[in-house]
Structures are given as structure tokens and as C-alpha cells.
Structure 1
Amino acid sequence: MISKEHYLTPRQIVEELDKYIIGQKDAKRNVAIALRNRWRRMNVKNDMKGEIVPNNILMIGATGVGKTEIARRLAKLANAPFTKVEASKFTEVGYVGRDVESMVRDLVEQSVNLVKAEKKEEVKQRAEQIVEDIILDALIPPLRQNGTVTTTSADQTEEEPKTEQELNERTRERFREKIRNGELEDRKIDINVQKPSGGGVGMIGGGMMDESSMINLQEMIGNMMPKKSKKRKVTIEEARRILIEEESSKLIDMDEVKELAIQRAENTGIIFIDEIDKIAKSGGGKGGADVSREGVQRDLLPIVEGSTINTKYGVIKSDHILFIAAGAFHVAKPSDLIPELQGRFPIRVELENLTKDDFFHILKEPKNSLTKQYTALLESEDVELSFQEDALEELAETAFNINTEVENIGARRLHTVMSQLLNEFLFDVPDKIGPNAKIVVNREMVREKLQGLVKNKDLSEFIL
């Protein structure tokens, strides 16, 4: 079932991305169209539905300009499974490298976690009721139905309990109210907790079995072993957290979760392949490194084209997964990729380098801007942090100049300058700077705190 977020128009998708990412209008428009096209394909009413393939995107731009953030925010916006891999990882162990199919398995794992979380939310209320009864049983164990009649005084009213059973029930109801009101959170009780499986079953001599088959065999043998539980003495608050997780897992149908997860990964999954320029042939050489890089490209090709991959949750087809590749392409060029792989990324987007003005807006506008993050951190200590406009301009200029003179790492440079600016305050709170204090950052303070950073052209301490 498609959630409401999938119905956003391309314009609305761009508006949502604008809340977190400054600039890069062209890239946002292309990913917005790609996301909307998925909804369009899933609502095609004839046989053409299976023939429509996603237009994979190749993003070209320096580090820190927002390539990964655009892809990650897009996946979050669509509530879609998302995984990021570095293409260079596949060349690290000689020619073979890491199994290229593992990126699809990672995607399915993410999809399972997404669906499982949704299903647990659906059964949360039922799980909470079950857990409440378990906690109540640990506090006041229930009596059996054949409770003995208690002696009653002459003036006893009809409402007073006449049996141990009734007395027990009334006591339990009083304690149930206390549990619901949070009055007993620190009281300790004994609960039975299922022991986690002991890290899988060792397998010797895998032979011709692939990774997926090994995982499935280990899981099957693990499931055949009896489940063990152990008694723990914990607070009611901790017991609730542990037991809700256990009871929710019991209430959901894992077969249904796996089936839905495979469908979601196939139809809405996004795989972000970073550093794809690192597997391009550099300068047209024919050395070992280039052979290895070309080998990785040829391993990637069938997955991007569409193939069937075995995972521990079932078989998945990669035909309709959206692939977004990215690279700086400082040394290699997109044309250095093998032609077949180039053809599988028909949409090319060049991301612009960030300007001084962009840095200013990045500090000021996004919902998750660094200034808002640091303000929230200090607010947790009851310290008010605020930034004047001229301070943000100075921070933006400093970050831009360091990127120009040393190494351009894009918006990540803002982390360096903000850390240098505020570390002293973060250290002094709350020992020297107590609650209700106000810190106002202005241009003079920025210049004073960052003068050492600007003067030191080497900056080896601060280069990420």
C-alpha cells in the first residue's frame, strides 16, 4: 500500500527538499520527477507497467555539495528503503572486492526494518495491554477461581470483597491504575526475557554455496534450536521497554513482513552509489587497477539493468529499483565509464560548487542547520544561544575562504568552523556558564575565535 507521501507532486517534493538543502535546483527537479514517476508507474493500468524502467541519475559534483543529502532526503520523503554504498569498496580486495549483490541485500534489510517498524506500530496498543498484564502478574499474582470464602464482620456491606478472589481482583485493579499513572516506574520486578540467539551457527567449508544460501541455512538451523529465556530483575519502566519489543514481535506476521518488504524494495527502493568515479578507467590506461575497476563496472551492470538476486528474505528483482550514482569526477570523466553502464544512467546532473552566499543560507535556513543544532544542544542545559546576522556572514566567508585556499570539502567545512567557534562554550557549560545564561554570537566574536584557524594555512588539525 502506497503511503500518502508518495502522492506529492514534483513541485511539492522540491519544496520539501528545499527545507533541508540549499541550491542545486536542477538536481532537485530531476530526483522529484524520478520519485513521482514511480507513483505513476505503479498506477499504470495495463501491461505497460512492467515495461517502464526508472531513469537512473548520475550526479556530478565536488564533495560536500549535497549529493548524498538529496538522495537520503528523497528516500525519507517517500518512506522508501534506502542504502548507500561506496563503489570503491568493491575494488578493495583485489579484482573481486566485496560482493556487488550485497548492496541489494542491504536494501532488502532496510526494507524489512521499515515494514517491521510499521507493523509493530499497528500492534502497539495490543502489545501494551499484554505487557501491562505481565507487569501486574509480577506485582500481584492472580488467584485461581476457587478462592476460599473469607470471614466477614456483621457490618460488612455488599460492596466489600467476600472471597480472596475478589480481594485479589480489587488489589490488582488498584495497582493497574498505579501502573497506568506511572507511580511504580522505579519498582523492581522479576521478568522472563528471551535470550538472544548466540550469534549464529558456525559453518565449515562453504564450498560452492553463496552468501545468501549460507545465511538461510544458518537461520534455519538457529530456528530449530529451542528458545531459551532467563529471569531478570528490572524496574517496571525498563520491563515495559523490553517486553513491548518482545510482545510486538510475537504479534506481527514475519512472513507477511518479508513479502511486503520485498515488494517495497523492488518498487520504491533507492540505492545510492557514491564515488562511482573511483571505478572509472583513469586516463585510458590498461594496468591492473583499471582492469579491476572495469571488472567492478561489469559486475554492477546486470544489477542496474535488472536481475534476480537471492536474499535471506526471498528473491528480489532489481528492475525497478532507482539507482542514483555520484562522483566528483576530478580525474576521470563520466565518459571513462564503460558505455553500457553510462547508458544505464541517462539523467546527468551537474551540481554547482557552493558560494559564500550558499554557506550563509545553509547556516540560516534549513530545518536542521548547524546553528539550530547547536542552539538545541545548549538549550538542553538551559543556556540560550543566538547568532547575529553579521556573525553568520563572517562564518560563511571564513568557511568559503578556507575551502578556496586549502581543500574544497563543501558544506562540511562549516562543521569545522562552528566547532572551533563554540567548543569553548560547550566545554564551560554548565561549570562556568550556568543555567539561564545567554550567549550572543556576533562578527567580532567569530573573528576572535577563528583568527588562529584563518592564519594557519596548513590547517592539518582541521582537515577532515
Structure 2
Amino acid sequence: MSDQDFREFDPEETNEVVDAEVVDNTSDKDDNSSNDNNEKKPTEFCYMCHRPDTICGPLIKMAPGMGVCNECLQRTFDSMGSFGFGGGDNSKSNMDMNKMPNISFLNLGSLFGEGPKVKNAHGAASSQAKEDRPAPAIDINNIIPPHKIKAMLDDYVVGQDYAKKVMSVAVYNHYKRVATGTMDDIEIEKSNMLMLGPTGSGKTYLVRTLAKLLDVPLAITDATSLTEAGYIGDDIESVVSKLLAAAGNDVERCQQGIIFIDEIDKLAKKKNANQRDVSGESVQQGMLKLLEGADVEVPIGASSKNAMVPTTTINTRNILFICGGAFPAMDEIIKARLNKHSSMGFMADLKDKYDDDKNILQKVTVEDLREFGMIPEFIGRLPIVFATEMLDEDMLVRILREPKNAIIKQYEKLLELDEVKLEFEDAALHAIARKALDKKLGARGLRSIIEEFMLDIMYEIPKDDNIGQVIITEDYIEKKGGPRIMVRSAGMIPERAAAN
């Protein structure tokens, strides 16, 4: 068809050639409007079928001066689907465009107000999510009081009574704040915590157990991997993206979770300022708004932002931040502050006065943290500062035996599956605790020591079906003898080493 045919286009002639159905929109109007003189004249024509817009409806602008009707564009996509380019019945196609990144086809219904429903972080339609959305997880009447939180922690964590009491009260007040928002127009500040303690004293285990009991999402991250934005390493927002992943990409549940940042002492200001500190003071400054409460744009299903990953906005106002660290050499700073008096004269203090104080970290103050290298703005956003106790021999023995998932109970269960009873003498448990103290690894050293002595036993037991009981003795732990083994029938084989 030539350009002259376009100019001499006759609508009546088109109705005879093209099999199209004209919709009569004049049924509700007066009969006088049906005159030929009042008929609407075509203004645009489809580039493919050459029908006017009075017949095929509004055209889709593909280029300046070129429009395509809805039906022709849909037939084009259907024909592409039959050749394996997505759309239509692509069950036999070799190429699935839906699986290719950043490639999607136009939904024609969206151009006429019938587009797809906007999806939320769950991947479900927003209208359906409102209908199926469960009740809020935090209810002011269902918040567990502090004494019950501490009682539940006692079942899993041995000792650390002061730390458990502080955490129970802080968590209780925080979730009261989340449930109420404001009380008489008084905004309650967040109860972020800073927890100090030697390695192996149970800092991470306390937080993990607390989140499990409260049934809230928990993200545990390491501050050593955080760097200033623009440098190699994880950005500060990555801690929030980990919490979103722990919450199953549920934004509302994520905004009520707990973030535990371990090794926070590694962010202290460096003493030598000869080079740029991209993983110390600058990270503390970048975390200020995060701790206080800010809108953070984080990727969904990934740890870093890029053009291929969708993002969502998380408000950190109701996220509880708990920071922990061993803070080595902090005891020397505390001792220097406590020894204020002169070392000479009648009021002299001995320099080694606090050397035997194992829990000297519990005397820490804000001034000590500033001397260590934490900036004042960062410390001010962690109002609750406390320290865990140093583990002694008796406490390590209790850790071996008392918790619900104690290490001894785990090995007893393993041997019970082989129909063998395992027992530990009290002297053997104290010997294991002493070895852990010598390694200075805290509770982490207990399992490595037991693994060393249980290796031969768990290797030899499946060989002999007559073994019915194994008793771990102190001599076996001290490598002066072997464990006592009881056979199933009767009697005892004394001092029989499992390795033999």
C-alpha cells in the first residue's frame, strides 16, 4: 500500500476488507448523534494492519509517527513464543527468555490499567499479602517479662547472671518500645548494647540463645569485614541485608530483629594515623545513623548492590543492635585509671593490686572505651555497657554437664545410638576444665579437648558388639591410663585402652 492509499483511506471500504468488529459507543446517546456528519474521523492508523484508531482503539507508540494496535502487537509476541523466544507456549522451546536477566516482555494490560499487582518482599501480590498477613509479632500483652527471659537463658547458659539480667531487661524494654511506639508523646530511645568479655565467655552464645527464645530473626556479622563505602570489603549496609535474609525477605519481620556485630573492638581508631583508616574510625562514623535509626536500601537475596539485584528499604529504628568484643589490652587501661594514687608514700597503691582480678572488665567506663579508640558518638548510641565474667574451673565443669545441650550429653546421645552407655567421672571433668583454662580459649576449648580423647573410643566401639559401657577416668584425660570398659554380659575389663 502506497502513501497515497493512506491519504485516500475510506473507513467504509476498510470494514469490507478487514474482518473487524466496530464497537457502537453511541447507544446511550441521543438519536441525533448518529448522523453521518457527527461521526468521529480517524486520526491514526496501525502500522501493521492499517486499521484506524476508531476501530482498533488507542495505538501503542513504537516510534515517532508510528503506532501499533493492541492485537497486532500481541500476535507478534505470540509468534515469537512459538519459535522459542518466550511468551506463548514455550514448553517445547529451546530458549526461555523468562530465565534471562534483565529481559522481560511488555504486559499490554498494564497500558490500559490492568497491569500486574505490585509485589512485596515476600514475592506475593500486595493485595493478597494484606489479606493473608499474620497479626503483628510483637504484642504488648505477650512480651515475655525479664525474669522469665533470664529463667529460659538459665536452661542453656551457665553462669553470667549479671549479663543475663542486663540483656533480659534491655530486650524487654526494647520490645515494649516496639509494641507501643510512644507513651504519652514521649519517644523511648533504643536499648542498644555493648558487651565486653574474654574470648570463649559466651557472648555470641548468649545472643543466639536469646534470639531463639524470642523467635525473632537474628543476624550475626563480623566487624572485621566492614570497610568504608567504596573500598574492598563489605559495606555497612551489609549487616542489614543479612538480617533481611534471616527473616526470609520479610521486611516487617526484619525491622523487629536483632543484629549482633562481633569483634567490634577491631573498629577502634588506630594509634598511628599515617594512612587512611578505612576499616576503623570511618566505619564507626558510618554506623551512627544505622544504630540510631535510618532508612537503608539493601539488596534482596544478595550481599552487595548491583543492577541485577532488586532492592528494598529497611528502617532500622526498631532493630536491636548488640555489639560485642574481647577488647584486648582493655584491662591495662582500666588498671591505669584505678591506680590513681602515687606509688610512693603512705597512700601508695601497689601496681599489681588488680592483677589477680579476673573480672576487671566489669569495671569498664566510657572513658576507658574512648581511651581504647572508640569515638564518643559511637559509644553514645550504645547506652548499655556490660561485661561477661571470666570462666573458672567450676564454671567450665558446669558448662560440660548442666545445659540442655551440654557437650557431655551430646556424646552420650551419640554412643546411645550404638547401644553403649557413656559416663564421665567428676575428676575427669575437672581435668578437662583445667586443660581448657591452660589453653585460654574459654568454653570453646572444651569440645576440642573432648574430641581428642573421644576419637579412639568412637573408632573402636563399632568394632566390638560386646561393649556395653565406657567410663572416662581422670587417668585417661591425663594420659596416665585408659578408660574403663564394661562388657554387656557381666564384669569389667580394667584399664583397657580404647586404642587397643
TM-score (norm 1): 0.59
1:330 partner amino acid: P
Give the whole-Å Cα distance in 2 for the aligned partners of 1:350 and 1:309: 30
Alignment partner for residue 267 of structure 2, among 263, 270, 279? 279
Corresponding position: 1:409 with 2:407: no
- Distance change (3 Å), C-alpha of 1:271 and 1:435: farther
Larger displacement relative to structure 2 (368-377 or 442-451) = 442-451
Corresponding position: 1:355 with 2:392: yes
Corresponding position: 1:19 with 2:6: no
Corresponding position: 1:375 with 2:412: yes
Give the whole-Å Cα distance in 2 for the aligned partners of 1:310 and 1:410: 39
- Please report how far the alpha carbon of residue 45 of structure 1 lies from its aligned counterpart in structure 2 after TM superposition: 7.5
- Please report how far the alpha carbon of residue 36 of structure 1 lies from its aligned counterpart in structure 2 after TM superposition: 1.2
SS of structure 2 residue aligned to 1:272: strand
Superposed CA RMSD: 2.6
Give the whole-Å Cα distance in 1 for the aligned partners of 2:441 and 2:228: 24
- Distance change (3 Å), C-alpha of 1:330 and 1:426: same
- Please report how far the alpha carbon of residue 102 of structure 1 lies from its aligned counterpart in structure 2 after TM superposition: 1.1
Q: Residue deviations 1:396-446, cap 9 Å, x none?
A: 22222x23xxxx211111112111221111111312x33762111122222
Write out aligned runs for 1:155-304 (5 A).
261-267=250-256, 269-282=257-270, 284-288=271-275, 290=277, 292-304=279-291
CA contact (8 A) 2:182 2:188 kept: no
Give the whole-Å Cα distance in 2 for the aligned partners of 1:418 and 1:442: 12
- Distance change (3 Å), C-alpha of 1:91 and 1:450: farther
- Distance change (3 Å), C-alpha of 1:92 and 1:385: farther
- Please report how far the alpha carbon of residue 55 of structure 1 lies from its aligned counterpart in structure 2 after TM superposition: 1.0
Alignment partner for residue 8 of structure 1, among 134, 137, 144? 144
| 1:430 aligned residue | 462
- Distance change (3 Å), C-alpha of 1:96 and 1:55: farther
Q: Residue deviations 1:134-179, cap 9 Å, x none?
A: xxxxxxxxxxxxxxxxxxxxxxxxxxxxxxxxxxxxxxxxxxxxxx
Structure 2: any 5+ residue segments left out of the alignment? 1-135, 301-310, 331-367, 483-500
Alignment partner for residue 383 of structure 2, among 331, 336, 346? 346
Alignment partner for residue 317 of structure 1, among 305, 315, 318? 315
TM-score (norm 2): 0.55
Give the whole-Å Cα distance in 2 for the aligned partners of 1:20 and 1:305: 31
CA contact (8 A) 1:41 1:49 kept: no
CA contact (8 A) 2:237 2:296 kept: yes
Give the whole-Å Cα distance in 1 for the aligned partners of 2:318 and 2:468: 54
Alignment partner for residue 237 of structure 2, among 78, 91, 101? 101
Corresponding position: 1:36 with 2:73: no
Corresponding position: 1:69 with 2:218: no
Aligned residues: 296
Give the whole-Å Cα distance in 1 for the aligned partners of 2:268 and 2:408: 38
SS of structure 2 residue aligned to 1:410: coil
| 1:330 aligned residue | 328
SS of structure 2 residue aligned to 1:352: coil
- Please report how far the alpha carbon of residue 95 of structure 1 lies from its aligned counterpart in structure 2 after TM superposition: 4.5
CA contact (8 A) 1:64 1:412 kept: yes
SS of structure 2 residue aligned to 1:7: coil
Identity %: 35
- Please report how far the alpha carbon of residue 54 of structure 1 lies from its aligned counterpart in structure 2 after TM superposition: 2.0
Which has the larger helix fraction?
1
Larger displacement relative to structure 2 (442-451 or 351-360) = 442-451
Give the whole-Å Cα distance in 2 for the aligned partners of 1:290 and 1:299: 13
Give the whole-Å Cα distance in 1 for the aligned partners of 2:450 and 2:480: 10
